[in-house]
Amino acid sequence: MTKHFTESNFQTDVIEASKERPVLVDFFADWCGPCQMQAPVIDELSSEIGDKAFVGKLDTESSPNISMRYGVMSIPTLIIFRNGKEVDRASGVQSKEILTKVLELHK
């Protein structure tokens, strides 16, 4: 199941959790067409990746402070965190295969 990150759980569920395994955060908004295309890929990846990584989404409209903190200027933006730090980033719609390979690099 895809996790939903918010300003209240981001520190615990992303920054601290990324010490155990990589965390992929999909920065999105409901009104964004490309984000709607990315959503099923994220959901599928989340269900297939198992315990190799955490996968979730952060709504930029309801959590603007986090989006600003990480300089998210366009959506979808996908950021991978590891050991409390950003280790990779991609903007635009990404395939499940590419995301899987990038997560493997940071396990």
Residue-wise pLDDT for 15-24, tens only, equals: 999 898 999 9
CA atoms within 13 A on the CB side of 24: 32
Q: How many domains does the chain have?
A: 1
What is the β-pairing status of strands 23-28 and 54-59?
A: parallel
User: Across the chain, what does the average pLDDT equal?
Assistant: 95
How many CB atoms are closer than 10 A to CB 31? 9
The answer to whether residue 91 scores a pLDDT higher than 90 is yes
What 3-state class would DSSP assign to 4?
strand
CATH number at residue 38: 3.40.30.10
Residue that has been written with the tokens 């599928």 in this structure: 44
The answer to whether residue 1 scores a pLDDT higher than 90 is no
Catalytic residues: 32, 35
Q: Domain residues for 8?
A: 3-105
Cα angle for residues 2, 54, 22 (degrees, 5° grid): 150
Query: What is this structure's pTM?
Result: 0.95
What 3-state class would DSSP assign to 15?
helix
Report the distance separating Cα 19 and Cα 34, nearest Å.
30
Report the distance separating Cα 37 and Cα 65, nearest Å.
24
The answer to whether residue 95 scores a pLDDT higher than 80 is yes
The pLDDT of residue 50 is 85
Q: What digits encode the pLDDT tens for the residues 30-70?
A: 999 999 999 999 999 999 998 899 999 999 999 999 999 99
Query: Please, which residues have CB within 8 angstroms of residue 71's CB and are 6 or more apart in sequence?
Result: none
